[in-house]
Structure 1
Amino acid sequence: MNAHEKINDILVHLFNEIWELEEDAIITDEYKDISNNDMHIIEAIGLGSDSTMSVVAKKLGITAGSLTTSVNSLVNKKYVVRERSETDRRVVYIRLTEKGRRAYRHHEDFHMQMTDAVIQSLDENEMPVLLKTLESLSKFFRGYKEEK
């Protein structure tokens, strides 16, 4: 297998493994009532208090209508609350409940462990190479998404 084929093989398997492992690591007994997708919505809402449906939908690259179904479910499960703006009743803010904040921190912890595992294996000369590689990959994904 040449270098191009090997890199392709690693990337394809790595993305699949991260998705599966993340679901196994994140959806524990405490969070068995939500999906990995729900956890990413929780992540996009974040710990602040000024998230709106349109802001969160934009972060996720989906429509506000698509987000509504998931947020309704998360509200019913007590991870998220909706609050109307006092100054403009048309604006609805969404924020995490204490249960939602615990889920957010749980998800964040997994990402920190994953990042730490990669960084610990690098020396100071390898870090810039990894950063450049990941930035190139990220740029490709963003450009590819914009083309669609």
Structure 2
Amino acid sequence: METDLKRINSLLTTVYSDIMRVEERELRKSEFKDISIRELHAIDVISMYEHKTSSQVASELMVTAGSLSTMVNKLVRKGYVIRIHGEDDRRIIRLGLTNRGRLIYRAHDSFHRHMVKKFIEGFDEEQIAIIERALLNLRAFLEFPPHIDNKKGH
């Protein structure tokens, strides 16, 4: 069992690093080299299909409102994101994508669709359900990770 845990941990960390490395490399080769991976993931969360509030986006990205505000300011300046004031209440501001933002959103979405198709290639529905359950278990753990104690024996 311990060998399985080490092997799976190694694969998870390697795959995570590989995904980030490939995304970064592809971003640098594209016409969108002026944004970071974090900004790209913010664009992904903002999405083309909803006009979310900043607090909704910050929550999904698990960042503070201040961090998101700084990132959105940069994305607005770079021409990827727009702020949309509410018609009924001008104090409510939602985020949307510009044409340029939609282009990078589609490219990033396409990359992820191809990656997931390759990931589940050759698996039947039952096996895919097991993979999904394992990923949901991991996600639940990451939402509330245990406290890391530096004391000996913990």
Measure, in 2, the Cα distance between the counterparts of 1:108 and 1:125: 25
Instruction: State the secondary structure of the residue aligned to 2:144.
Output: helix
Equivalent residue number for residue 128 of structure 1? 129
Following superposition, the deviation at residue 91 of structure 1 comes to 1.3
Percent same amino acid at aligned positions? Answer: 36
Equivalent residue number for residue 17 of structure 2? 16
Name the structure where helix makes up a greater proportion of residues.
Answer: 1
Unaligned runs of 5+ in 2: 149-154
TM-score with structure 1 setting the length: 0.88
Measure, in 2, the Cα distance between the counterparts of 1:31 and 1:15: 22
Say yes or no: does 1:58 pair with 2:59.
yes
Give the alignment's Cα RMSD to 1 decimal.
2.0
Equivalent residue number for residue 37 of structure 1? 38
Following superposition, the deviation at residue 47 of structure 1 comes to 0.9
The letter for the 2-side match of 1:113 is H
Equivalent residue number for residue 111 of structure 1? 112
Following superposition, the deviation at residue 57 of structure 1 comes to 0.9
Unaligned runs of 5+ in 1: none
Deviations, residues 55-91 of structure 1 (Å, cap 9, x unaligned): 1111111122111111111111111111222211211
Following superposition, the deviation at residue 130 of structure 1 comes to 1.4
Report which stretch shifted further, 95-104 or 78-87: 78-87
Q: How many residues align?
A: 147
Following superposition, the deviation at residue 27 of structure 1 comes to 4.1
Equivalent residue number for residue 74 of structure 1? 75
Following superposition, the deviation at residue 122 of structure 1 comes to 1.7
Measure, in 1, the Cα distance between the counterparts of 2:18 and 2:96: 30
The alpha-carbon distance between structure 1 residues 81 and 116, as it changes in their structure 2 partners (threshold 3 A), is same
Equivalent residue number for residue 140 of structure 1? 141
TM-score with structure 2 setting the length: 0.85
Extract structure 1 runs of 4+ deviating beyond 6 A.
none
